[in-house]
Amino acid sequence: MDSIQRGRAETLRALHDGTLVLPNAWDAASAAVIAQAGATAIATTSGGVAWSAGRPDGHGLTREGLAELIGRIVRVVDVPVTADIEGGYGESPEDVAATVRAMVAAGAVGVNLEDSIAPGGPLHAAAAQAERVRAARAEAVAAGLPELWINVRTDVYLFGIGPAEGRLADVLTRAEAYAAAGADSLFVPGLVDLEVLAELVAASPLPINVMVWPGAPTVAELEAVGVRRVSVGTAIAQSAYAVAAAATTELLGKGTYDALVGGLDYGALNSAVTR
């Protein structure tokens, strides 16, 4: 393990001492411009990554394909990179270990591991997911990067698993199991209710990560209730593709180019990926 990667892993850990805001990238160029805009760390988005490869989200990519992408991102940024490995590219602990090994080899210093088996559910039982987390931690140690940040995502709220009144208790049960297995933080997409988040933060043994979108509470509001990590999932990628669609519609329909106003300077973008 080289000193640069170890240093970035330690940096990522230190960033969680406050509230870490993570814009999500989907390729090397998006990661480079996000870093240049001031991001202190880069997280990938599985949806954006899959779309850029012509695949659907939800395990549409391969472990090898993601490792190649992570390697390209690491090459063009000087900040920590954490990889969204979805469900680990396989259900078994051994599958998760193989994926963690590939991500560490590619230069990642963090991973995001889901407890859902498929989009919409079902979820792995807490004990089964804990074994997968334990395998991820053991592999990180074996790969020479014990500092790897493991952000475990639970989709209880995102997919509406179980009765609404029991979801907070379910998440807390999972938090206890995942913490004991070696997780570093808990990602709860689909939950932005500040009162519920305050309860979760107060009771969880792990720092809480939430996903935001237009209309969600601000970073300051989330920070005030104790949320320690904020990310935007596929939102930036969706916005970028919306520009492509709008510009094409305008060009073909009106023969004008107003949707292209405000694009990044060619030279600046080209230099962002020149190493």
Task: Give the three-state DSSP class for 66.
Answer: helix
Question: pLDDT for 106-127, tens place per residue?
Answer: 999 999 999 999 989 999 999 9
This prediction has a pTM of 0.96
Q: What per-residue confidence (pLDDT) applies to 112?
A: 98
The reply to whether 177 falls in a domain is: yes
Give, to the nearest 10 degrees, the angle between helix 167-181 and helix 194-203: 40
CB 213 within 8 A of CB 237: no
Residue type, 32: A
List of residues 6+ apart from 84 with CB closer than 8 A: 24, 43, 44, 45, 46, 49, 111, 112
Alpha helices in the chain (DSSP H): 3-15, 28-36, 46-52, 63-76, 93-106, 126-142, 167-181, 194-203, 219-224, 235-253, 266-272
The reply to whether 112 falls in a domain is: yes
The reply to whether 265 falls in a domain is: no
Q: What per-residue confidence (pLDDT) applies to 67?
A: 97
CATH number at residue 212: 3.20.20.60
Question: pLDDT for 50-88, tens place per residue?
Answer: 999 999 998 888 999 999 999 999 999 999 999 999 999
The reply to whether 242 falls in a domain is: no
User: pLDDT in tens for each of the 275 residues of the chain?
Assistant: 789 999 999 999 999 999 999 999 999 999 999 999 999 999 999 999 999 999 999 888 899 999 999 999 999 999 999 999 999 999 999 999 999 999 999 999 999 999 999 989 999 999 999 999 999 999 999 999 999 999 999 999 999 999 999 999 999 999 999 999 999 999 999 999 999 999 999 999 999 999 999 999 999 999 999 999 999 999 999 999 999 999 999 999 999 999 999 999 999 999 999 97
Tokens of 134: 């334990």
The reply to whether 267 falls in a domain is: no
The reply to whether 275 falls in a domain is: no
Tell me, what DSSP letter sits at residue 116?
B
Q: What is the extent of the structural domain holding 110? A: 3-234
Q: What per-residue confidence (pLDDT) applies to 58?
A: 86
The reply to whether 241 falls in a domain is: no
Instruction: Give the number of domains in the chain.
Output: 1
21 vs 13: CA distance, rounded Å: 13
* Beta strands 149-153 and 185-187, pairing class: parallel
The reply to whether 68 falls in a domain is: yes
Task: Give the three-state DSSP class for 78.
Answer: coil
